Amino acid sequence: MQGNNGSIASIIALVCGILGFLGLLLMGIPLFAILFFFISIVGVILGGVGMSQSKAATGNVNGLAIAGLVVSIIGAFFGLIGAACGACACIGWSRLGLSCAFMGCLSPEYQEVVNVVSGFGSLFA
């Protein structure tokens, strides 16, 4: 990645940030929302790498690196909201006695987490 002024890392950071927005759109499927949250975290890291590479190569920070970092931070925030909303939806479905397997809550471990979190909610009710 020498000689590219951090543009490759910046472009990947921008793409990862845009994918983070999908976490909010796919909040009905918590596993996808969590995946896109972590992809946005990778974008934040690559945005910082792109900024440092462009600063070292040219003395100035590349605007694309700044955009990738900002979009990735916002994408991570939206991905986190999407994951939280999806988990709340699974909790609601399980409290109604319905299966939420179609939402991506297939693993028994995830069901245990949902049951524990819904137990904490009853403490405040």
Cα(81)–Cα(36) distance, rounded to whole angstroms? 11
Domain range for 50 is: 7-123
- CA 87/CA 81 separation, integer angstroms: 10
27 in a domain, yes or no?
yes
Task: Say how far apart CA 109 and CA 104 lie, in whole Å.
Answer: 12
Q: What is the pLDDT of the chain when averaged over all its residues?
A: 75
pTM of the model: 0.69
Dihedral sign from CA coordinates of 71, 77, 79, 81 = negative
| Number of structural domains the chain divides into | 1
Q: How confident is the model at residue 1 (pLDDT cuts 50, 70, 90)?
A: very low
Is 57 inside any structural domain? yes
Any domain includes 1: no
CA atoms within 13 A on the CB side of 107: 5
Residue 2 within any structural domain of the chain: no
- pLDDT over 60 at 107, yes or no: no
With a cut of 80, say whether residue 83 has pLDDT above it. Answer: no
Within a domain: residue 99? yes
Residue 114 lies in a domain: yes
pLDDT tens digits, 22-81: 777 776 677 777 888 889 999 999 999 988 888 888 888 888 888 989 999 998 888 777
Q: How far apart are CA 63 and CA 47, in angstroms?
A: 11
